[in-house]
Structure 1
Amino acid sequence: MLTTDFPTGSPCWIDLGSPDPAAAAAFYGAVFGWTFQQLGPEAGGYGFLQLDGKTVGAVGPLTEEGARSTWTTYFKTPDADATAKAVEQAGGTVRVAPFDVMDAGRMAQLTDPQGAQFAIWQAGSTTGLDVVSSDNALVWSELHTTDQEAGFGFYRTVFDWRSEKFPAPGMTYLVVSTAEGDQQATSFGGIAPIMSEGQPPSWTPYFATEQVDELVRRAQEAGGAVLMAAEDVPEVGRIAWLADPSGAPFALIKGEPRQGS
């Protein structure tokens, strides 16, 4: 289960790159009830998405030429420079070399060998998100990739993750956990095949909700699209896949995500 203890290798932050951060914040506010806390001019348009005053994510303008709007998952590391080097040695790419974010921490933006983008975070004054694993907050991170075994092998090399196979409908799903602690208790995400031909490998956040169908309705009314209609998955829960008005995918889940989706 994802917790704000944020052990090494676990998701600790998410942010959205958007062509219109204010419009994106308004969309997610309509769906989840989040508010947008705009940071100062030095942040370049970046701001926090909050629920009851606690940060559940962030949004900012797209900074890379040709980039598509997407959510980025950040994984906790005690040493961003060493992890970036390990990524290169394991066949990944360092898109943005490690740099300090004022006193908040140190980060880098990376791409795995199959093409999925992610980031790493070395905590300074900011450890990570204020809230996870509760309603309208991040509860699960899922990698869709062209090669599950190779994909997991890369992250195992970099973060020493563990995996457990789960026979999901129509595929074998890999549930991933951090290096230390009870394997089931420290699971935070999964690795699955790409959902459709032409889908780029990517990490997608799942947000917890007791009202999957209601949030799907809100998203559609706010201009979002349904990528996979709400459905019940045995031994998992009720899930749906959506895209915001700029095309960034995200998912909803009601239930226990440890066993995959």
Structure 2
Amino acid sequence: MKYSEPLDSGPCWVELGTPDIPAAKSFYAALFGWHCETDPRPEAGGYTMARLGDAAVAALTPLHRPGGSPAAWTVSFSTRDADATAAKVTSAGGTLLTGPTDVFEQGRFAVVSDPEGAVFSLWQPRAFAGAERLGDPGTLGWAELSTRDTVTALAFYPTVLGWTVSAGGSYTHWGVDGADFGGMMAMGEEFEPEVPPHWLPYFVVTDVDATAATALSAGGDLLLPPTSIPDGPRIAVLRDPQGAAFGIHRSYRED
């Protein structure tokens, strides 16, 4: 990610929906050094802020319905007008799933999906802009879309969010005014047919191999072993003990 704080239309926040908040707190503390604070207000529904030092970097939210949605990370993108952007989503073939809704005085959000079903959130900041650190170890560093229809995605996201596109070989880079923050890969035979298109957050770490080993020892799984990408960073894809997938990568700032 080529910026260190949220930009309009760029990724600004990540939330983990999980059936076991205490277990998630322990797991991600071991991986990233996060300490978590649960909002005590009943109307907050158990919303838990993850911090690195004093900086808010992510959130954990309870999954209240047994047998409902699986544990998963959701990437949020900043917008100046959640209602207008949600309308763009539907007019471009996407789906409005939740909202737009106010979150106290913090901002306004909506949960949407693109035409192929990849879910993401829109965040209109008010008191809260989003992650207070990006691109540092222990924070969000990249957001990747996996989809079986890259042509539709290339039309949808620049229309809805105004992203710039840089295509290189088999991998597409997304950016805000040319500042890359993520990418897109085509889902091939390595993905099981039941795996839907999805957004995957990548968190920055100083040592991919050591972090992957820590994840395994803490009860997680390895979906993609540590791998060095040609002309890119070293990465791995993990799954936490509750089943939520996420990536890790070595900081671009160190390469």
User: Do both proteins adopt the same fold according to a TM-score greater than 0.5, normalized to the shorter chain?
Assistant: yes
Find the residue that maps to 1:177 and give its secondary structure.
strand
Q: Percent identity?
A: 39
Moved more, 192-201 or 223-232: 192-201
Moved more, 187-196 or 241-250: 187-196
Report the CA distance between 1:232 and its aligned residue.
Answer: 1.2
- Matched residues in 2 for 1:164 and 1:113: separation? 21
Tell me, yes or no, if structure 1 residue 197 matches structure 2 residue 192. Answer: yes
Letter aligned with residue 256 of structure 1: Y
- Matched residues in 2 for 1:148 and 1:76: separation? 22
- Matched residues in 2 for 1:158 and 1:114: separation? 15
Gaps of 5+ in 1: none
Residues 80-115 of structure 1 deviation map (CA, whole Å, 9 limit, x = unaligned): 000111111011110002010000000001111111
Question: Which residue does 1:157 correspond to in 2?
Answer: 159
Letter aligned with residue 181 of structure 2: F
Question: Which residue does 1:48 correspond to in 2?
Answer: 49
Moved more, 18-27 or 220-229: 18-27
Q: Is the 8 A contact 2:49 2:59 kept in 1?
A: yes
- Matched residues in 1 for 2:29 and 2:6: separation? 26
- Matched residues in 2 for 1:4 and 1:88: separation? 30
Find the residue that maps to 1:228 and give its secondary structure.
strand
Q: Is the 8 A contact 1:16 1:70 kept in 2?
A: yes
Letter aligned with residue 123 of structure 1: P
Report the CA distance between 1:234 and its aligned residue.
Answer: 1.3
- Matched residues in 2 for 1:67 and 1:2: separation? 32
- The 5 A counterparts of 1:101-140 are 101-140=103-142
Letter aligned with residue 247 of structure 1: G
Q: How many pairs are equivalent?
A: 249
Q: Is the 8 A contact 1:50 1:56 kept in 2?
A: yes
Tell me, yes or no, if structure 1 residue 238 matches structure 2 residue 231. Answer: no
- The 5 A counterparts of 1:134-149 are 134-149=136-151
The root-mean-square deviation of aligned C-alpha atoms, in Å, is: 1.6
- Matched residues in 1 for 2:24 and 2:5: separation? 28
Question: Which residue does 2:17 correspond to in 1?
Answer: 17
Q: Is the 8 A contact 2:89 2:95 kept in 1?
A: yes
Report the CA distance between 1:5 and its aligned residue.
Answer: 4.0
Q: Is the 8 A contact 1:108 1:120 kept in 2?
A: yes
Tell me, yes or no, if structure 1 residue 216 matches structure 2 residue 218. Answer: no
